[in-house]
Structure 1
Amino acid sequence: MSILDMNNKSSAPQKTGITYLIATVAMVILEKIYRLFGHGVTSPAMTWMFLFPLAGGLPIYLVNREKVDIEDAERLRSFSNLYHSGIATLTVGSFLKGVLEIAGTDSVYLLYFYIVGFGMVLLGIVPLLSRASKGHSEPN
């Protein structure tokens, strides 16, 4: 990690928020394109898949808006990556479920996307929320 990156930690929440906003818009566009070529067949799982990056990105952005010291950011990096990977897993699982519903089939493996995705989100969010509650309880 370079010195410039360490000094620029305050822009990380903005980058995360913009990334989740772009992912949300991309999921809406993807659903519209798939609906266009889906011969009039739609799927609720695909229609609402944009909610995973939208609802998943908003809380993490709000929690991480405050300035994070370098040691704390390095310690929480793996939990943050786990959380983001969980949101991505849930989004991909919702997309695949939508594709399979439109195709008129089903798979037993779709349940694993949701189990693993929600598990990763829970494991990733607990330390991040505990840091936020610790930061709010300490006087500045």
Structure 2
Amino acid sequence: MAARYGIAALGCMAFNFIYAQFAHGISSAFMTFMFLIPLVAGAVPALALRAAKARPVPRATRQAWALAIACLTIASCLHGVFDIAGTSSAWLFAYLAAAIAFAVVAIIATAKQSTLT
């Protein structure tokens, strides 16, 4: 699982690099640092769980967490694109709300699992 998040972080870095080539010297912190979302929220916890030899996390919990990370990463990318273009969109709030909802679902599922065992 950590490798997938690492690959996603590398993909974000590559996307930012390529996009910056066509951005006429304009950059956005949201675009520059979007690679940190899958790296810090995905790869680091996955490696920590593996190092701690913790119980396997249920599939539904992993998927909800992955969706939260994906929503945050897409929101950061779009925010960066909109910053560079000099505009904004109401869709950013929708991505943020979805990310929060998926994260809450993952946290509740994890809490339920820990109380059952």
Kindly report the root-mean-square deviation, in angstroms, between the aligned alpha carbons of the 2 structures.
2.3
- The question of 1:27 aligning with 2:12 is answered yes
- The question of 1:62 aligning with 2:44 is answered no
Show the counterpart of 1:41: 26
**Whole-angstrom CA distance in 1 between matches of 2:83 and 2:20:** 12
- The question of 1:128 aligning with 2:110 is answered yes
Instruction: Give % identity.
Output: 31
Structure 1 stretches of 5 or more lacking a match? Answer: 1-15
**8 Å CA contact retained: 1:83, 1:120:** yes
Task: Give the TM-score normalised by structure 1.
Answer: 0.71
**Whole-angstrom CA distance in 1 between matches of 2:96 and 2:47:** 22
Show the counterpart of 1:78: 60
Given the superposition, is the C-alpha separation of residues 84 and 51 from structure 1 closer, same or farther in structure 2, using an over 3 Å criterion?
Answer: same
**8 Å CA contact retained: 1:53, 1:91:** yes
Show the counterpart of 1:88: 70
Structure possessing the higher radius of gyration over alpha carbons: 1
Task: Give the TM-score normalised by structure 2.
Answer: 0.83
